[in-house]
């Protein structure tokens, strides 16, 4: 046996003894793990057990600021004792439901009541209407027995998380914070308002998208319609389809969260703005072509369409960037929040909407100028041939599209006045927008209907009363 072996054994025993002492000292400073208690009340805590909320973030708490839940009885009893507490750490899993933040301070209108069974009650009270002493008032409100019944809703375990809010400055007071899942509303299938908002309105959106898609396919598939005006009509209909789809997402609020709200609002306003910029491009092209000396029947130059695309999409992108930046960084309601940029953003604010809608208002004024000046020029013309006949037909189509889209936009603004009659009118106008566009762009255009008959019914003879495409078809040219 080597003489160094006993020394190694002694060294190993010494290290093992030191490790045991270290573990014992650490375990004496850390609370022992509690055994599972089936009678323990489940409390959903937003932060860790050793953390509290400060400036919208979970922060390590010192001993005097650790949160201890206080329970209130169903009949208003204060400081009800429970057998044991079991914390469940983390935000609630709301699925597709929206999450709402609630803050409870000393004199705030929002009040959070935690019951001994682990359920959370949210009350909205009027602090200026107190007639009883504060303790009696709190007891009555906690029990829901006050004569002035407040808004209240109880959240089951798993539908909320709760924690303490510690003020970062002396001007504010400590309070409570909760993140709750949006409560489910009772569905009344016999309610006419519910039928119109949640059933008829989505169905009309779906039908409108199908009709607009048909218009876009007609102008994209038929070769003779893929001129500059036809490409602009296709672009307008695509923008309106995206707008209808985004508005459809905004209808079903119970299946959305704050991220989908902001994304749907952004797509809705951006696509609507792009549609008006494309309509403005059509009005400018017709106005400029009527005033030009050299007028051609068809403009198939792809470079010219690229210039119009650069104007429409470039202007839309710039204004959309300014609007979104204004919403997240300049809107006063969002700037006062202590949460992160993308938290609790339920929809585009009024400042962002103003940035989106102000260019539309100017576009409407410019289009009115294009309409009035072009109409005066047409009335001064004594004679015009097939070229001007085609341009006049495009001008009438532009005028009707301008009237339809502007009317729909105006009733959208009026629907925000919180009058049911205006909202119902907006739903009807929005439902009629796509059929009117189908009539103006396809059914009313004789050369478009002829091309459809030519493509679908080959044995259909051309009508001698029409012009343009029919004459070319008779001459044997397929353009």
Could you read off the pLDDT of 175-187 as tens digits, one per residue? 888 888 876 655 5
| pLDDT surpasses 90 at 98 | no
| pLDDT surpasses 80 at 280 | yes
Q: Do the domains 41-181 and 192-334+344-461+468-475 sit in the same CATH topology, yes or no?
A: no
| pLDDT surpasses 80 at 48 | yes
Top pLDDT among 433 and 157 is at: 433
Top-confidence range, 11-15, 30-34, 95-99, 409-413: 409-413
Q: Which pLDDT score, from 0 to 100, does residue 1 have? A: 46
Of 71-85, 198-212, 255-269, where does mean pLDDT reach its minimum?
255-269
CATH class of the domain comprising 41-181: mainly beta
pLDDT band at residue 464 using 50, 70 and 90 as cut-offs? very low
Of 141-150, 193-202, 308-317, 361-370, where does mean pLDDT reach its minimum?
141-150
Residues 312-341, mean pLDDT to the nearest whole number: 74
At a CB cut-off of 8 Å and minimum separation 6, what does 293 contact?
none
DSSP 3-state of 120? strand
Residues 32-56, mean pLDDT to the nearest whole number: 74
Distance separating alpha carbons of residues 335 and 105, to the nearest angstrom: 21
Of 79-83, 224-228, 343-347, 356-360, where does mean pLDDT reach its minimum?
343-347
Q: Which pLDDT score, from 0 to 100, does residue 344 have? A: 47
DSSP string covering 10-69:
HHHHHHHHHHHHHHHHHHHHSPPPPPP-TTPEEEEESS-TTEEEETTEEEEPPGGG----
Q: Which two tokens stand for residue 138?
A: 């709190």
Residues 15-34, mean pLDDT to the nearest whole number: 42
| pLDDT surpasses 80 at 286 | yes
Of 108-112, 343-347, 473-477, where does mean pLDDT reach its minimum?
473-477
DSSP 3-state of 354? helix
| pLDDT surpasses 90 at 319 | yes
Residues 267-293, mean pLDDT to the nearest whole number: 90
- Asked if the 192-334+344-461+468-475 domain carries CATH number 1.10.287.130, the reply is no
At a CB cut-off of 8 Å and minimum separation 6, what does 241 contact?
209, 212, 213, 216
pLDDT, tens digit, 9 for 90 and up, residues 111-163 = 888 888 888 888 876 655 555 555 555 555 544 544 444 577 788 888 888 88
pLDDT band at residue 254 using 50, 70 and 90 as cut-offs? low
Q: Which residue has the tokens 């500059």?
A: 228
Top pLDDT among 227 and 299 is at: 227
| pLDDT surpasses 60 at 468 | no
Q: Which pLDDT score, from 0 to 100, does residue 113 have? A: 85
Distance separating alpha carbons of residues 368 and 283, to the nearest angstrom: 9
Q: Is the pTM of this model over 0.75?
A: no
pLDDT band at residue 336 using 50, 70 and 90 as cut-offs? very low
Q: Which pLDDT score, from 0 to 100, does residue 476 have? A: 39
Distance separating alpha carbons of residues 152 and 119, to the nearest angstrom: 13
DSSP 3-state of 123? strand
Q: Which pLDDT score, from 0 to 100, does residue 126 have? A: 61
Residues present in the chain in total: 479
Neighbour count for residue 362 (Cβ, 10 Å) = 12
Q: Which of 472, 474, 473 is nearest to 297 (CA)?
A: 472
Distance separating alpha carbons of residues 189 and 187, to the nearest angstrom: 6
Share of the chain above pLDDT 90, in %: 26
Q: How many H helices and E strands in the chain?
A: 13, 10
pLDDT, tens digit, 9 for 90 and up, residues 361-400 = 999 999 999 999 999 988 887 666 667 777 888 899 999 9
Q: Which two tokens stand for residue 476?
A: 């044997």
pLDDT band at residue 302 using 50, 70 and 90 as cut-offs? low
Residues 434-445, mean pLDDT to the nearest whole number: 92
Domain positions in the chain:
41-181, 192-334+344-461+468-475
Alpha helices, H only, 292-417: 302-325, 332-335, 350-380, 386-414
Top pLDDT among 3 and 358 is at: 358
Q: Which residue has the tokens 């093992």?
A: 16
Residues 49-60, mean pLDDT to the nearest whole number: 81
């Amino acid at each position: 046996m080597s003489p160094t072996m006993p020394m190694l054994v002694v060294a190993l025993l010494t290290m093992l003894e030191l490790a045991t002492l270290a573990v014992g000292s650490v375990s004496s400073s850390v609370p022992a793990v509690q055994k599972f208690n089936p009678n323990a009340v489940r409390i959903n805590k937003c932060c860790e057990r050793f953390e509290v909320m400060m400036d919208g973030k979970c922060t390590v708490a010192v001993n005097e600021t650790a949160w201890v839940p206080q329970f209130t009885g169903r009949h208003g009893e204060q400081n009800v004792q429970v057998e044991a507490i079991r914390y469940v750490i983390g935000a609630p899993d709301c699925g597709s439901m929206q999450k709402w933040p609630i803050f409870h301070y000393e004199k705030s209108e929002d009040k959070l009541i935690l019951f001994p069974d682990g359920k959370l009650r949210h009350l909205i009270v009027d602090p200026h209407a107190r007639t009883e002493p504060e303790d009696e008032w709190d007891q009555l409100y906690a029990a829901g027995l006050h004569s002035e019944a407040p808004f209240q809703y109880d959240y089951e375990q798993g539908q909320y998380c709760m924690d303490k809010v510690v003020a970062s400055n002396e001007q504010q007071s400590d309070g409570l914070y909760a993140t709750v899942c949006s409560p489910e509303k009772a569905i009344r299938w016999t309610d006419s308002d519910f039928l119109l908002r949640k059933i008829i309105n989505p169905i009309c959106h779906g039908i409108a998208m199908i009709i607009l898609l048909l218009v876009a396919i007609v102008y994209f598939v038929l070769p003779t319609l893929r001129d500059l005006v036809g490409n602009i009509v296709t672009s307008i209909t695509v923008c309106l389809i995206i707008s209808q789809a985004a508005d459809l997402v905004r209808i079903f609020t119970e299946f959305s969260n704050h991220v989908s709200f902001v994304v749907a609002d952004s797509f809705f306003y951006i696509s609507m703005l792009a549609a008006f910029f494309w309509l403005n491009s059509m009005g400018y092209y017709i106005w400029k072509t009527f005033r030009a000396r050299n007028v051609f029947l068809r403009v198939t130059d792809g470079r010219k369409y690229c210039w119009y695309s650069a104007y429409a999409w470039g202007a839309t992108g710039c204004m959309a960037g300014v609007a979104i930046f204004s919403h997240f960084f300049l809107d006063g309601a969002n700037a006062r929040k202590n949460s992160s940029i993308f938290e609790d953003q339920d929809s585009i604010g009024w400042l962002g909407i103003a940035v989106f809608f102000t260019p539309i208002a100017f576009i409407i004024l410019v289009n009115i100028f294009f309409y009035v000046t072009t109409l005066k020029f047409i009335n001064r013309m004594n004679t015009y041939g097939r070229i001007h006949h085609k341009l006049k037909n495009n001008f009438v189509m532009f005028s009707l599209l301008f009237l339809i889209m502007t009317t729909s936009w105006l009733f959208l603004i009026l629907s925000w006045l919180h009058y049911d009659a205006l909202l119902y009118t907006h739903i009807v106008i929005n439902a009629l927008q796509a059929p009117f566009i189908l009539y103006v762009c396809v059914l009313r255009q004789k050369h478009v209907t002829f091309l459809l008959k030519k493509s679908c019914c080959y044995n259909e003879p051309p009508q001698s009363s029409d012009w343009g495409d029919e004459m070319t078809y008779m001459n044997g040219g397929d353009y």
